[in-house]
Structure 1
Amino acid sequence: MAGGTSGARGCLGDALLGLLLCSVTLALEVSVGKAPVIYVQNGTDVLLPCTFTSCIGIDRANFTWIRNHTEIFKGVVKNKDSKPEPYQGYKYDFKYRLPPDVALSKDNREFNISLELLDAEFSDSGKYTCFVKNPKEKNANHSDTITLKVVVELEKVDNTVTKIIVSVVGGVIGLLILIMVIKKATLFILKKTRQKKECLVSSSVNDNTENGLAGSKAEQKSTPKA
């Protein structure tokens, strides 16, 4: 009985911890990614990203995509083992669809409800809101918005300035290293030259002393008497 009681207390503790974690963070959270604006070239397809998470679980979670103030798509995720699918009976524009290769949730918490826009036109530019409602969380709802801009041509990133800056910085560093090497080599040569000169001077003095030149020991001897 003691073991069963402790096991029950452990499960209760885990459950309370789970509820606490859910209360600290949002039980239902929707995200369209980190980029607030996405660009697409006119006449091409684009993916409008959106995922939602729920640590409590889902039961027929409804999601809606809204462009500016108009609904464009409505779908449902029935349970944690289901892929998102269009809402039955809802009439929507066929230029919007769910990606065919969307994967199931790996941890049963995060669900991908991204929407694909086919053959984007300039009129498709605007704000797209991903809205989710989860009946299992007492119809808790959450949303996030992303801006789409349809352009004539996507801008190519020019790295010329960056390359120039990197080249200049690299050249300066290389020049500083070369100067330091030359300085060290010059000091080394000067040191060796000075030591050689000192050696020559010392050797010359010794030779003069031994040959009886001025200042040598020979001058210091007394002159012999007649």
Structure 2
Amino acid sequence: MGRCEPRIISLCCLLIFGCWQAAAVEMQVEPEVNGVVGDDATLRCTFRSTSPVTGRLSVDWTYRPVDSEASHSVFYYQEQPYTPTSGKFKGRAVWSGDIRRGDASITLRDLKFSDNGTYSCHVKNPPGDVHGQAGEMQLRVVTTVTHSEMKILLAAIGGAILLAIVLIVTVASIRACRQHRRQRTELEKNPQYW
């Protein structure tokens, strides 16, 4: 019994150390992204790793269409971006992330209706962070901006115009007051013009 105890303790230590070393990468993505046909859409994916980022870190983006369970590769990164050389994302999926800042984002160019679906971002940072859930988001491609987006845009434009008008009126009022004060001062200095 005395000989087994050190082995059991060693085994427990190895298990605890192994579990601690195999921590998961924390992922953050927007749950839903809306895009307009023909425009570009950035699929934002940020991560935090408990291990230092090394050249072994990899980012794997996959796509699952709305009407299918099969996943397709979209983009791969390990030390450098590997753009797709074939398939529907060839020439359209580009790297827009910065690994050192925990950013694994990509941009899809020239959106099409067939791009609707679920996109998954999976980051691995061996040897420590190799497990964890992929960040998933839904991309919804529409023909035009939605009403809520249009309202926000109109409110921003209206606010900018209103601010410009207020600034112009304020500047004109200040100038008119200064000119009026200057004329009054000149009249007080030269009473012969009365």
TM-score normalised by structure 1 residue count:
0.47
CA RMSD of aligned residues (A): 2.9
1:32 shift after superposition: 0.9
Q: Unpaired segments of 5 or more residues in structure 2?
A: 1-19, 65-70, 152-194
Output one character per residue of 1:3-49: Cα deviation in whole Å (capped at 9) or x when no partner: xxxxxxxxxxxxxxxxxxxx6xx64111113xx21111111001001
Contact kept? 1:97, 1:115, Cα under 8 Å: yes
Distance 1:57 1:65, change over 3 A: same
Q: Unpaired segments of 5 or more residues in structure 1?
A: 1-22, 79-84, 160-226
The question of 1:66 aligning with 2:62 is answered yes
- Give the equivalent residue in structure 2 for 1:75: 77
Contact kept? 1:129, 1:143, Cα under 8 Å: yes
- Give the equivalent residue in structure 2 for 1:91: 85
> Among residues 48, 59, 73, which one is paired with 2:43 in the alignment?
48
Tell me how many residue pairs correspond in the alignment. Answer: 122
The higher-RCO structure (CA 8 Å, 6+ apart) is: 2
After TM superposition, which residue ranges in structure 1, 4 or more long, deviate above 6 angstroms?
none
Distance 2:94 2:38 in 1: 16
Question: Equivalences for 1:52-201 in 2 at 5 Å?
Answer: 52-59=47-54, 60-68=56-64, 69-76=71-78, 78=79, 85-87=80-82, 91=85, 93-99=90-96, 102-103=97-98, 105=100, 110-137=101-128, 139-157=130-148
Aligned-residue sequence identity (percent) comes to: 27
- Give the equivalent residue in structure 1 for 2:15: none
TM-score normalised by structure 2 residue count:
0.55
